[in-house]
Structure 1
Amino acid sequence: MAAANLRAELDSLLLQLLGDLEELETKRAALNARVEEGWLSLSKARYAMGAKSVGPLQYASRMEPQVCVRTSEAQDGLQKFWLVRAGPRTPEEVGPRESALRKRKGPTKMAEPEPSPAPQDPLNWFGILVPHSLRQAQASFREGLQLAADMASLQIRIDWGRNQLRGLQEKLKQLEPGAA
């Protein structure tokens, strides 16, 4: 009876694992398509604006992330990745602005901390009126980032499933030495 329950659990885990593998393959194909579409749109933008107008020389001297990757642990103990829009302040900027207090002569004014501006859209580095193909490239790469986070979560779930599958196979071997 225990072997039958173990086999049923093994079968359901194997079906879940195969479904996850199929989903991972679908997401990989979608990621490849998005990246290819992004590079194609970027090359169209370079053609429309000129090769020297879209390149590393137009990047800002200080870049700030638009999205951050976060992780959490699900109920079953697996990690899940997702993207969140970056806030106006990054963790490196949190804390005192000066390392020590100084005594000054005369009336003292308390300087108000300057709020950090929200992350600027990188498309503005290339001018105000950018071609539509540059916006398409940005959208394609953003979708690719989301797909990459989904794929990382899925890969963790697949690895966990494979380990569970091996454990169940070992238990089945111990119950029925000639089986599995």
Structure 2
Amino acid sequence: MWLPILVIDTFPASKLDTVVPENMAEGVDSNQEKLKMAVPEREELLNRLDSLWEQYLELLDQYQKVQAQISAHFSSGFLSLAQANFNNSSGTRYGQDYYDERMQASRTVTMVSGLPVPSVAICIPEPQTSSQDSTSSSSESKDSNGISERATGLANSSSKKEPTSSTPKHKSVDPLRWYGLLVPPALRSAQASFIQAVEGPIPRLVTLSKELRSLEIDIGRTRKQIRKM
């Protein structure tokens, strides 16, 4: 019985060895040097990316806490407003349907530019003086050119007769005055809650939003630099 015989030819090791060109060897060495130089830079970028993510998560936690504060202030304000309307015996209701058409903002929020960290400033408008004082001051300025002595004499005589007329009359900008002097305590509590929300957590929320946006841009740029290496 004949069995097949498998014959395997063996070649000497010298024939299997390939000769590497000199220029290719130099390219390999240069690439290895570049890799050695790029490793510290990559580690530095990775550490910077970790630091940016840490800052981002801390600010995000603060952002969520501030949102909870705003929600608490507004919930308290609307609850007090509902109580004031429920206990109101008159026909009027406290709400935006009964606002005065001449309503002006009692708090103004402005962004402060030119700072390394974005910030918000709260401005309270000053009370306006009455129109009578403005007209009297303008008339006195006009008469000062011609008959200044007579105008000053009349002003002195009027000030002696009516000493209270020279004091400026300030107009109140408090919206509660629209509903009279004796407003329910619940309405005052609602106003206080809304003012606390505007003056406290809302500006902080705007600042945190700007900082988070800036960190998102830095994180994106750092990740692109890492991918290019």
- Shorter chain as denominator, the TM-score bin is 0.7 to 0.9
C-alpha distance in 2 between matches for 1:116 and 1:27 = 40
- Map of 1:103 onto structure 2: none
What's the CA shift for 1:87?
Answer: 2.8
Pair member with larger Rg: 2
C-alpha distance in 2 between matches for 1:56 and 1:48 = 18
The 3 A distance-change label for structure 1 pair 13 and 52 is same
Contact residue 65 and residue 119 of structure 1 kept, 8 A: no
- Map of 2:63 onto structure 1: 24
| 1:62 pairs with 2:88 | no
C-alpha distance in 2 between matches for 1:4 and 1:85 = 50
1:130 corresponds to which of 183, 198, 203: 183
- Map of 2:52 onto structure 1: 13
Structure 1 gaps of 5+ residues are: 90-97, 99-105, 110-114, 176-180
Contact residue 34 and residue 144 of structure 1 kept, 8 A: yes
Aligned residue type for 1:143: Q
C-alpha distance in 2 between matches for 1:151 and 1:134 = 26
The superposition leaves residues 109-161 of structure 1 with CA deviations (integer Å, 9 ceiling, x where unpaired) of: 7xxxxx78365211111111211111110111112223222211111111110
C-alpha distance in 2 between matches for 1:65 and 1:119 = 12
Q: How many residues align?
A: 161
C-alpha distance in 2 between matches for 1:162 and 1:118 = 47
Please identify which structure carries the higher helix content.
2
User: TM-score when scaled to structure 1?
Assistant: 0.74
- Map of 1:162 onto structure 2: 216
3-state SS, counterpart of residue 82 of structure 1 = strand
C-alpha distance in 2 between matches for 1:129 and 1:27 = 34
RMSD in angstroms over aligned alpha carbons?
Answer: 3.0
What's the CA shift for 1:53?
Answer: 4.3
Contact residue 82 and residue 150 of structure 1 kept, 8 A: no
- Map of 2:123 onto structure 1: 84
Contact residue 87 and residue 118 of structure 1 kept, 8 A: no
C-alpha distance in 1 between matches for 2:65 and 2:55 = 15
- Map of 1:94 onto structure 2: none
The 3 A distance-change label for structure 1 pair 59 and 162 is same
Task: Give the 5 Å matches for 1:166-177.
Answer: 166-175=220-229
C-alpha distance in 2 between matches for 1:3 and 1:156 = 28
2:113 corresponds to which of 61, 68, 73: 73
What's the CA shift for 1:18?
Answer: 0.5
Aligned residue type for 1:29: A
C-alpha distance in 2 between matches for 1:34 and 1:3 = 47
Structure 2 gaps of 5+ residues are: 1-39, 129-137, 139-145, 152-167
- Map of 1:121 onto structure 2: 174
- Map of 2:207 onto structure 1: 153
What's the CA shift for 1:107?
Answer: 6.8
Aligned residue type for 1:52: T
